Structure 1
Amino acid sequence: MAAAAPRVRAGCPHCRTSFELDADALRLAIGASARTTFYSFTCPGCGEAVRKPAGERIVELLTGAGVRTMRLTGR
């Protein structure tokens, strides 16, 4: 039997609902500073795009769950 895909708890600031998302429904962007490090997803309840800051612990949790990660480079 295959292991269940990791799920991540999230909440929408627009419609105020809480839910669980599959790791592939989220994106993590790691920038040069805390201001440019965030995760994003589309709320399954209201369809709004959501972007939230991601501190070190959130980055650890999301990468551990297999969320796709993009490294942002500054020029």
Structure 2
Amino acid sequence: MARFASINQVPERLRKLRHSRLSLGQIETILAAAEASKKPFAVALGEAQAQFMAGHVERDGQWIKKQRGDQ
């Protein structure tokens, strides 16, 4: 279920991760993982962001899904 119709509806603090912008789909993925947790939302959000970063790399100010050979 989409929480936001456009990136403009996303709170500014959720639009970036480590100073690199996230797409609307990436934001939705992180929020879904956080909401699925039974932990307090702030803790769950931090864990969801860490899990996202483990599967993605920052390139040119964007988050890109890791490919083989990416570190």
Using structure 1 for the length normalisation, give the TM-score: 0.25
Higher helix share: 2
Using structure 2 for the length normalisation, give the TM-score: 0.25
